[in-house]
Structure 1
Amino acid sequence: MATVDQLSSQEAIALEDKHGAHNYHPLPVVLSKGEGVYVWDVEGKKYYDFLSAYSAVNQGHCHPRIVNAMTEQAKTLTLTSRAFYNDTLGPYEKYATEYFDFDKLLPMNTGAEAVETAIKLARKWAYEKKGVEEHEAQIIVCENNFHGRTTTIISFSNDEGARKNFGPYTPGFIKIPYDDVDALENALKSHKNIAGFLVEPIQGEAGVYTPADDYMRKAQALCNKHEVLFIADEIQTGIARTGGLLAVCGNCSCESHCEKQEDTYAQPDILILGKALSGGAYPVSAVLANDHIMEVIKPGQHGSTFGGNPIAGAVATAALEVVRDEHLIQNARKLGTIFREKMQEFVDSSSIATLVRGRGLLNAVVINDTEDSSTAWDICMALRDNGLLAKPTHGNIIRFAPPLVMNEKQLIECTDIIIKTLKQFEK
C-alpha cells in the first residue's frame, strides 16, 4: 500500500475517518513537517502554526537541541521501568526541582495522568497529614475547567460533551465559579474536609479566560489560612507561555523561579506540568511538591511503567534548557503585548470581533456570534487558506498560541493575516 508521505490530504483524512475513532474534529489540513513556527502539509503548503499543539510546542517544532537529546538517548537506553534506576532520571529530577524550586518531582507521561496524580497526592496528604477521615476528602475545582478526560476528571467537568453517557461519576469534588475569591472562601468555610483547590491560572480550553491579576495570590492565601493544598494546573499555561515561567508568576518575567516576585505571585503547594515540558517531542508530565506533601507516597502506591523513562528525562532537561537559554519568557511577554495591542486596535472598530484577551502568547479573540454558530470555524478555515492555523473553542472563541520562538517580524505578519481574514467576515 502507499506510504504516508505519498498520500494526498484527502486520502489521509479518509483513512483516519475509516479506521480511527471519531473522538476529535480536526481542521481539515494534513501536516507532514514542522520547523520552528512553521508547519507544512502533505502537498507542501507552508503555514504559521498558531496553536502549538495546545502549547506543547513552546520551543518550536523539531527544536534541534530537543530532538538531538531524544535521538542520542534513544540510541543507548529507552526504558527500564522503575524496577531499576536509570542514569537520566536523577539528574533530570534535580534540574527540574531546582528550576521550579520544589523538593521533589513525581514523573508521569501525560497531562491527565499528572492531574490524577495530584488528586491522589492531595487526598492521601489530607488523610495522613491533615487528619481528614478516610474517603471523606473533598477537592474544590472551578466551573468551566479543563484538566483532561479521564473518568475522574470528567466527573468534575461541566462540559456535557465530555461527560454525557460516561457515568457513574467519581465523587469528592466541590465546584465553584472561576475568578471568584468569595466563592472560594465560602467553600473553604463550609466544608471541613477540603484537601485541595485545583485550578488553572488561566482557563485555556474555556477560551483563554484570564482572571484578575490578584486572583491566584488571594486564592493561595485562603488555602494557606484553611490548611488546604493550592494545586496549580500549569500544563497549558506553564513554561514561559504566559510571559512568566509559570502563569502563577503573574507579572514576573524572570527566567527561572525566584523569591523576588511581584505581589501577584502565588506559590503552589502542588505544581502540575506537561505539554511544553518536552517541547512537544515526547509525552512527559510531572507533579512537583515539597517533602512534607510528597513523602506520603510510598513504594507501590503510585507509578507508571513509562514515567521517568530515560528518554523523557533527557528530553525534558533539554526542553527546559531551551526555555532559559533562548529567553522564551521575555519573548512571550514582549510579543504578547504587541499582539494584543494590534488586535485591540482592530477590535475597537470591528463588528466581527468583540474582545481580545490573554497573557503572554496565550490569547483569544471572541467572535461576534453565538456559541452554536459556525462563524469561528469558518474563520479558522479562511485563516488556513491564508497560511495560518488556529482552532476555535467554545464555538465563538478563537485561541491564538504560536510557538514562543517566533520573532517580532513574524508576529506582525501573522497579526496582519488574522486581521485581514477577520475583515472578510465583517457584517
Structure 2
Amino acid sequence: MRSLFFLAASLLLLTNLTAQTYKFDFGNGAVANGYKQVLPDMAYSADRGFGFLESKKLEAVDRQGNALKGDLISSDEPFFFTVDVPEGNYDVKVILGDKAGTSSTTIRVENRRLMLDKTDTKRGEQVKELFSVHVRYPEIAGTDKKVRLKSRELAYFHWDHQLTIEFNGDAPKVAAVEITPNTKAPTVFLAGNSTVVDQANEPWAAWGQMFPVFFKPSKAVIANHAESGETLKAFKGAGRLENVLSLMKPGDYLFIEFAHNDQKPGGSHVEPFTTYQEMIREYAAAAKAKGGIPVLVTSMHRRRFDENGKIINTLDDYPEAMRQLAKEDGIALIDLNAMSKVLYEAWGVEASKKAFVHFPAGTFEGQSEDFADNTHFSTYGAYQLARCVVEGLKQTDLKLKKYLKKGIPSYDPANPPSFEDFYWPLSPKVSVIKPDGN
C-alpha cells in the first residue's frame, strides 16, 4: 500500500513539474514568440484544443507595434474563450485595453464565477490583470469513479475538462491570455447548496461565485463544489465530498454550509443537534485527515418578514446547532445566518426584493411568469452575501484572511450598498427554471 502511495505521489509530482503553460496572442497582427495566435473565426474544436464558444460578433484589430500588445480581439457583446486543460489550479494573466481606444471589461470563468470586476482603461492604455482559477473534472482522482452529476450539470462549463473564460462588459478588448498551473496556493473548497453554488444562468446567483474576486491572485484559489438542492447526505452520496478530498492537500480549506435542504422531510433529513452535527463532524474530520482546515458557515435566512419587518427564522435550530458544534470542537465559524438577519432587515420588505430573484414577467427571454423567489439571490444579493462571508473571515484567526485583497473596506450589513450602485453586465445564458432547493 505504501509503495502505491509513493508511486501516486511521484506521478503527481511529475505531472506538476511538466504541467503546461498556455499562451495565446489575440488578434490578426504579428504573433509573439511562444504564443498561439487566436483569430475571431477560431471556434473551439477538440483537435485545436482551444477556441471561442457561442460568439458571433468578434472583431480583430491590429494597431501595429508590439507583437503581443499591438493587436487584440473585441466585441460589442459577451464572448467566451475556452481551453482544454488538466484538472487543477491555474493563474490566468490577461492583457486588456487598446492602444488607440478605451475599454471596459468584466471577467468571469466557468459558470459565471466572478474573477475581475469592472476594469476600465483610458484611451491608449493597456493593463495586465491576474486571477486564479480552479478547474475540476467529474472523474475522481485516484479512483475509477465519477461524481454522480444531475442532468442539468451535463451542460455546465465546469465539468467539461476545459477552462472557459467569459469576457463581458461595455467594451471588452483582449490582447493576450496566459494560463499557468498554480500548485502552491491553498485551495478553498466550498461545499454547499444552491445558496453557495456557481449558478450557471441569469438571473440566479449565489455567494460562492462572487467569493473569488476578493482574494489576491495566485495566493488562494476558490474551488466551488457546491450544487443546487444538495444536502450533507446527498453531497456525500453523489461523490462530491470524495472528489474534494481527492484534490485536497495540507493547508487547504473546506467551507461547509448546509441546512436549507437538510431540514426537509425525506431520506436526506437530519436533526439539528444529532445527525446534522454528526455529519458536519464527519466532513470536518475528513478534511483534517487530509491536512485540511474545516470552516463552518451558518446558512443565511430566507426572505420572510413578520408584520413588524423582522426576519422570521425558517431554519429552526440548524444555525444554532452549527454554532454550538464550532465552539465545542474549536472549528472556525462564519455566522452568515446572524449577518443575513441584520442585512435583510436593513433593506426592509420592499428593497430586499432586489437582492432576491424577484422580477416581473418578460424581464428575461422566455419568462412568461413573475419570479418571486425568497431563497435564491440576484447577482446583487449574492455579492452582498459574499461581502458578509469575507467580513466574517476577517474576524477569524484563519491564515486565509491574509490572502484577501488589500483595501477591501469593512462591510456593515446594517448599511449595505444600494442596488443602484451595483454593476453586473448580464451573461448570455438565461434560465427560467428555478434552481433545486428552497
TM over 0.5: no
TM-score (ref. length: structure 2): 0.29
Structure number with higher relative contact order (C-alpha < 8 Å, ≥ 6 residues apart): 1
Write 1 or 2 for the structure with the bigger share of helix: 1
